[in-house]
Amino acid sequence: MAEKTVKVSDFLNDKLIFLNQTFKSADELFDKVAEFAERSQMVNESFLPKIKEREATFPTGLELEDRGVAIPHTDADTIKQEFVAVITNKDGIPFKRMDDPNQLVSAKIVFVLGLNQPHAQLEMLQALMSVIQDRSVLDQIQSATSANEIKEILK
């Protein structure tokens, strides 16, 4: 049996797609994602403190040519049901840069990974990297107005 390729679209959930938001900080964004993920029984109560702690220790902001993106994630033991949350923000949200934590990136697109299979995390990051490196896909994500649009783009 060939390994099934990890596809971002397989992990999307309408409740965790937030488009054209006005979050001012990463914490505000994490609070919202955690609230919906907890309500949907996708994470346990450790998710929120752990994702904030991990982001502070291992920042996930990426500075691309034309915009900032962030890929926050946390420990597998906080995830009950795997997901990828997609957030677009009208203005950039300050995230510390992955490659230089002293620098901030203004992230307009954020993918919050909720994965509990260690091997899947690497595969998901690889799948997301191909999305992130495609400027036209990011443009489509940023201008999307519905969860269905996001699912189509990420198929």
Does 3 have pLDDT greater than 90?
A: no
For the entire predicted model, the pTM comes to 0.94
Does 93 have pLDDT greater than 90?
A: yes
Categorize the per-residue pLDDT at 20 as very low, low, confident or very high, splitting at 50, 70 and 90: very high
**pLDDT at residue 1, as a whole number:** 45
* Domain coordinates in residue numbering, the chain: 8-153
3-state helix/strand/coil string of the chain = CCCCCCCHHHHCCHHHEEEEECCCCHHHHHHHHHHHHHHCCCECCCHHHHHHHHHHHCCCEEECCCCEEECCECCHHHECCCEEEEEEEEEEEEEEECCCCCCEEEEEEEEEEECCCHHHHHHHHHHHHHHHCCHHHHHHHHHCCCHHHHHHHCC
d(CA 97, CA 149): 28
**pLDDT at residue 40, as a whole number:** 95
**Domain covering 8-153: architecture:** 3-Layer(aba) Sandwich (3.40)
**Section 53-74 average pLDDT:** 95
